[in-house]
Structure 1
Amino acid sequence: MRPLILKQALHESLNPLANAQKTIRDSCLLALWHELITFPKPGLVSLEDSGSHSDMSASHFSSSIFALRFYFYQIAEAGSRGLKFEVLRELGVSSEQRMLAATNGRNTHRGAIFNLGLLAAAAGYQLKNNIQLKSLGEIVTELWGEELIKHQRSTESNGFKIFKKHGTGGALSEAQSGFRTVYQIGLPAYRKLLFQTQDLELARIHTFFKLLSVTEDTNLLHRGGLDGLLFARNEALSFLHEGSVLNPDWQQHAVSIHHKFIARKLSPGGCADLLGACLLIDYLDLTLDV
């Protein structure tokens, strides 16, 4: 058995595509970890506190991230072969089961399994086929866009209920658009602030508030209705208009908003997922040569 394992390890070390899939996996895990440790993110779990989630902690999220390590490798490999969305969906469902087992039933990363999974699959396809002129978002819509449109939402999900009530598509619509919010809002904000400050955490915080100011976050709608969404957007706009993280008093303002979200039990998990997608795309751009 041991020689077989060594032979497989040697094969992978000599296989550029396998190494690229490991890089995609590692970039996904790093994006999730950096999203988790970013503070403050109003209402959300971090290493500092549990935000608006009395049933979750950072340890649940870190356990979940570890449990997802094989999924991101698998879906990058499946994407490299251009497999159907149904195959990717089945991988996602299996990974959700591993997530729930690792967190004792807490839904820590269902949105990230969907968003980052599709982007990882697109990255695998991009590398396998040496595609240089298309973004990962464009590859997602080209390969799986029609299947995403046909994809049936679960009538039991919060996302479906929000869609029926408010007409807001959430993560599914974002993916169908080729991750428009990520590419048009999140990534430019992240890269501009990072260029200005050379500070990764400040760039992540600024990007989160930028996303919060524009995103129709279905988690906010589920917890606080339209009033909750508008409140969250106004708080984010106030933070941005006062200079965001370039204001000397930014931290006090951001923490104050965080506590307001906790008091209202608001949790913009959709924005956290979009931040993770921004980070993943940026990391892949830095580490992978197509």
Structure 2
Amino acid sequence: MSRIKIYTVNEMAMEISSLAVQAMIYEVSCYPSPGLVSPVSCGAHKDMDFFTFIDSTAALSKYLTLFIQEGFSNKSYREIFNSIRKIGITAEQDMFVKTKGINTHKGMLFLMGISCAAVGKTIHENKSFKYIQSIIKEMTSGIVEKELMQLKDTDAHSHGEKLFLKYKTDGVRGEVERGIPTVFQFSLDFYKENSELSINDRLIQTLIGIMQNCNDSTIIHRHSVEVLEEVKETAREIIAIGGMKTAKGREKINNLSTEFIKRNISPGGSADLLGVTVFLSLVEEYMKKL
């Protein structure tokens, strides 16, 4: 039997990580989510289903706690970021073991891991919710320059690296270095504004809202920048006619689900940002009670 690791984790880290797990389960549980895996559809994915996502979330749950615990320290923002990246490599390996090599949560793990650590650090420094974004920026400062700008064709291994070389799109690294602006400047407020909807409908409404602006690298990887722009424009049209609040909007979302399956379109980047939006919304409520 291999040597069992002993971790020191405070109760708050466990409480906050449960919110991250909740958010990840919410993201995969809502439908109709065009092109995405849900309890009723595999979307534009042939190698995974709802249960693959539950398995993956279960495998990652302990690491979410460890990301937050890293934030509960006197380490510098950069030191915390370097620590959680090491934890993230192990987390990703465990995810792939659980899913038999299927990439369910690689993008989500990166975004959620950074968000979790930043939340832990914000609380540790006795700061308010609004400081989380600036801490994320501090943690990830220079990541695009360091990891993408220096790339040569032979160095590119990940989808994000290959897309940067082809399109100069900085993907999830650029998003975190800017402090996840899609969430902090848009989707958190949008999620709040739609709180009168049922949980399911609110999640779908927010997903479509995010799709309006998200430079979704999953779509670019599978298709092209042109298809991405088409998806954004369709999302804007849906929100303009009310989205999940109107019969016409719902019908258009249902039609989009059918179309995305046929065309193999999956807004996976938008789905990851939805998960982070839900997590930070739950965190904001949690921090009000501290």
- Which residue of structure 1 aligns with residue 163 of structure 2? 162
More displaced stretch, 147-156 vs 41-50: 147-156
Structure 1 residue 156, shift from structure 2 partner: 1.0
Task: Verify: 1:109 aligned to 2:105, yes or no.
Answer: yes
Task: Verify: 1:255 aligned to 2:251, yes or no.
Answer: no
Q: Which amino acid aligns with 1:77?
A: Q
Q: Is the 8 A contact 1:76 1:121 kept in 2?
A: yes
- Which residue of structure 1 aligns with residue 83 of structure 2? 87
Following the alignment from structure 2 to structure 1, what is the Cα–Cα distance between the partners of residues 63 and 232? 33
Q: Which sections of structure 2, spanning at least 5 residues, go unmatched?
A: 1-5
Following the alignment from structure 2 to structure 1, what is the Cα–Cα distance between the partners of residues 130 and 229? 34
Q: Tell me, what secondary structure is at the counterpart of 1:68?
A: helix
TM-score, normalised on structure 2? Answer: 0.89
Q: Tell me, what secondary structure is at the counterpart of 1:64?
A: helix
Structure 1 residue 148, shift from structure 2 partner: 6.1
- Which residue of structure 2 aligns with residue 235 of structure 1? 234
Following the alignment from structure 1 to structure 2, what is the Cα–Cα distance between the partners of residues 103 and 173? 28
Q: Which sections of structure 1, spanning at least 5 residues, go unmatched?
A: 1-7
Task: Verify: 1:202 aligned to 2:198, yes or no.
Answer: no
Following the alignment from structure 1 to structure 2, what is the Cα–Cα distance between the partners of residues 47 and 148? 36
Structure 1 residue 231, shift from structure 2 partner: 2.1
Structure 1 residue 149, shift from structure 2 partner: 4.5
Following the alignment from structure 2 to structure 1, what is the Cα–Cα distance between the partners of residues 86 and 169? 25
Q: Tell me, what secondary structure is at the counterpart of 2:169?
A: coil
Structure 1 residue 224, shift from structure 2 partner: 1.2
Following the alignment from structure 2 to structure 1, what is the Cα–Cα distance between the partners of residues 188 and 136? 17
TM-score, normalised on structure 1? Answer: 0.89
Following the alignment from structure 2 to structure 1, what is the Cα–Cα distance between the partners of residues 117 and 205? 28
Structure 1 residue 248, shift from structure 2 partner: 2.4
Tell me the alpha carbon deviations over residues 209-248 of structure 1, each in whole angstroms, 9 at most, x when there is no partner: 1111111101100111122212211221221121111112
Following the alignment from structure 1 to structure 2, what is the Cα–Cα distance between the partners of residues 58 and 119? 24
More displaced stretch, 131-140 vs 253-262: 131-140
Matches within 5 A, 1:13-32: 18-32=10-24
- Which residue of structure 2 aligns with residue 75 of structure 1? 67
Matches within 5 A, 1:27-176: 27-81=19-73, 82=75, 83-132=79-128, 134-147=130-143, 149-151=145-147, 155-176=156-177
Structure 1 residue 138, shift from structure 2 partner: 1.3
Task: Verify: 1:270 aligned to 2:269, yes or no.
Answer: yes
Give the fraction of aligned pairs with identical amino acids, expressed as a percent: 27
Structure 1 residue 269, shift from structure 2 partner: 0.5
Q: Which amino acid aligns with 1:286?
A: E
Q: Is the 8 A contact 1:39 1:46 kept in 2?
A: yes
Tell me the alpha carbon deviations over residues 225-280 of structure 1, each in whole angstroms, 9 at most, x when there is no partner: 12221221122122112111111243322111011111110111000011011001
Tell me the alpha carbon deviations over residues 162-212 of structure 1, each in whole angstroms, 9 at most, x when there is no partner: 112222111111100111111112111111011xx2422222111111111
Following the alignment from structure 2 to structure 1, what is the Cα–Cα distance between the partners of residues 215 and 267? 10
Q: Is the 8 A contact 2:129 2:284 kept in 1?
A: no
Q: Is the 8 A contact 1:71 1:92 kept in 2?
A: yes
- Which residue of structure 2 aligns with residue 4 of structure 1? none
Q: Is the 8 A contact 1:80 1:122 kept in 2?
A: no
Q: Is the 8 A contact 1:191 1:203 kept in 2?
A: no
1:147–1:231 distance in 2 versus 1, CA, 3 Å: closer
Tell me the alpha carbon deviations over residues 21-50 of structure 1, each in whole angstroms, 9 at most, x when there is no partner: 011210110000000001111101010110
Following the alignment from structure 2 to structure 1, what is the Cα–Cα distance between the partners of residues 106 and 222? 17
Q: Is the 8 A contact 1:137 1:175 kept in 2?
A: no
Tell me the alpha carbon deviations over residues 87-145 of structure 1, each in whole angstroms, 9 at most, x when there is no partner: 11111111000100110100000011100100100111111111126432211112332
More displaced stretch, 245-254 vs 54-63: 245-254
- Which residue of structure 1 aligns with residue 3 of structure 2? none
Q: Which amino acid aligns with 1:50?
A: C
- Which residue of structure 1 aligns with residue 219 of structure 2? 220
More displaced stretch, 145-154 vs 248-257: 145-154
- Which segments of structure 1 move beyond 3 Å, counting only runs of 4 or more? 146-149, 151-154
- Which residue of structure 1 aligns with residue 178 of structure 2? 177
